[in-house]
Amino acid sequence: MKIFKLKRTIGIALLLGFGFHKNVHAGSYGDIYGAHPGAAGMGSAVTAIVNNSSAVFYNPAGLGRLSEGDLILAAIEKEARTNNPEIPNPENKDASSTTPPNVDPNDPANQQPAVVGPWYKRYWADTKEGFTKDVFKYKPANRPERSVHEVTFQYMYANPTSHTTAPRNQNLNKIRDSFVGLGLTLNLNDMFDMSRGFRFGINAIVPGSGNLLTLNDQNPTVPRYLQQGVSNERPTIMGGLGLEIWKDRLFAGVGFTALAGGTGSILMKDVPISPDPVSANSQVILTVKPLINPTYGLQFSYGKFSLGASYKRETVMQVDPVPARAQTTLLGIQLDFDLAILDGFNPRVFSYGLGFRPNDRLVLSFDINREIWSQFKLSRIKEKYSEPLYLHDTTNFRIGAEYALFKFLKTRLGFATKPTPLPAMPGANNWMDSDRNIYSLGFSYVFSPTTFKFMNRLRKPLIFDIVIENHQLKSNEVHKYNPTERNPNYSYGGYIWTVGVSMTIFF
């Protein structure tokens, strides 16, 4: 077993520095638990509708959309203009008026009939009308007069509860998957006035265990979870650009994902020749650089429908190889060690999404994710001394809904399926993973200058998101070809409860 760890003592600032320079990406926390509590509340079915800092994870094209801060601020400005007609309306100058000339909007004959009665009848009428009226009609979005930037702080607590009869080890005891995150988007129209959405975004997620980075090349015969515990201990840092190509309709984005890779060596010197055991002076030298992989995304909106597609290439941590050499001058003695670390694999992902917004209160979304796990390779030392291991490609389905109970409060529901890529394990290998169903419930609370009177000094909104998830892990029975005391038959399964919170500040 060979494990290299970089402790948090090297500093989060150093990690974020890498992010701004190379956008290092190396994690699976977002794949399992969601990269943002708002998205996780909808089962992470946000490929077609994402518009915050997590867009660099789900679909970088979402950076070109109006953010939640843009939409809230535009609504506040619109309300102020309505209350004070003397304030000019600079937004949507190129949008034609939908009101015919010489028509008095205050005339009851020219007003839309309103549904009267209890609140639930009004909500039902609005919802039903949203599915049948103006489904493909273009409606220009309200845009704020000021540029809006965004910073998000998040924390996710995950405590997997596993039930297994497998031989215990450090990978099966006290499993923790908690993590913290930081997201940032910058509206580049402050620098280049393109009259279109144009933003840069970055999202960083790091383990909450105290380990900033873990490279684990452990023997696969030891029982180990594939997507829990130590297998998740690696940072995720992503960056990207999003551009609004066709106003309110077409958005494109490009991002960068990467992981650590490089070469290493063990230098041995001053090795005496002796019949007794000796300890050689040695140095381990590792040269690690970011390995950059691209991410692409598109979003298209027409009427009340939104479509999205993204592509994220696989990433992997790799240090290959770590050789050792020792030689005497009198008698040629050469020692060779070959350790190729290949861990932290994230599959190539193709994501396709469909969103539907029947009215200003309700959003429905559906995603299909195709994960290409078959590109996984064993390290050279495992390939030579372990059984072959082939992972299966998987297809994930995700569905989510969001409903605004009030202007300041939204609720979300989500469901997702995540099949395991692991094949049966009847031989010596003992990697463990389960098919899982994921259920999520989320809330979003908006503080804005119009929410409460005491918030009148708040110039731009704040958003607090919370999500509660339950992962149901399907039970598995492992039957060995030749069970032994060290490699017996066993079973495993369990569940995971997670709670995530975030605070988004717009400035």
* Terminal-to-terminal C-alpha distance of the chain: 48
Tokens 């103006």 belong to 134
What is the maximum span of the chain, computed from C-alpha positions, in angstroms? 108
Q: pLDDT tens-digit profile of 429-473?
A: 898 999 999 999 999 999 887 776 667 777 788 999 999 999 999
With bands split at pLDDT 50, 70 and 90, how would you rate the model's confidence at 242? very high
In angstroms, rounded to a whole number, what is the distance separating the alpha carbons of residues 303 and 131? Answer: 11
In angstroms, rounded to a whole number, what is the distance separating the alpha carbons of residues 167 and 164? Answer: 9
Beta strands in 408-461 (DSSP E): 409-418, 431-432, 436-447
Yes or no: say if 114 and 126 are a contact pair by the CB < 8 Å rule. Answer: no
Domain residue extents for the chain: 37-80+133-259+295-310+347-506
Yes or no: say if 379 and 320 are a contact pair by the CB < 8 Å rule. Answer: yes
Fold annotation for 37-80+133-259+295-310+347-506? Porin (2.40.160)
Yes or no: say if 282 and 267 are a contact pair by the CB < 8 Å rule. Answer: yes
DSSP secondary structure letters along 39-64: HHTTTT--TTT--STTHHHH-GGGGG
Yes or no: say if 197 and 251 are a contact pair by the CB < 8 Å rule. Answer: yes
With bands split at pLDDT 50, 70 and 90, how would you rate the model's confidence at 14? very low
Q: Is the pLDDT of residue 252 over 50?
A: yes
- Pairing mode, if any, of strands 224-225 and 431-432? parallel
What is the per-residue pLDDT for 265?
A: 72
In angstroms, rounded to a whole number, what is the distance separating the alpha carbons of residues 443 and 404? Answer: 10
Q: pLDDT tens-digit profile of 29-64?
A: 888 999 999 999 999 999 999 999 999 999 999 999
Range list of H helices, 108-232: 119-130
Segment (H or E) for 18 = helix 12-22
In angstroms, rounded to a whole number, what is the distance separating the alpha carbons of residues 344 and 235? Answer: 10
Tokens 């020792």 belong to 326
pTM of the complete model: 0.82
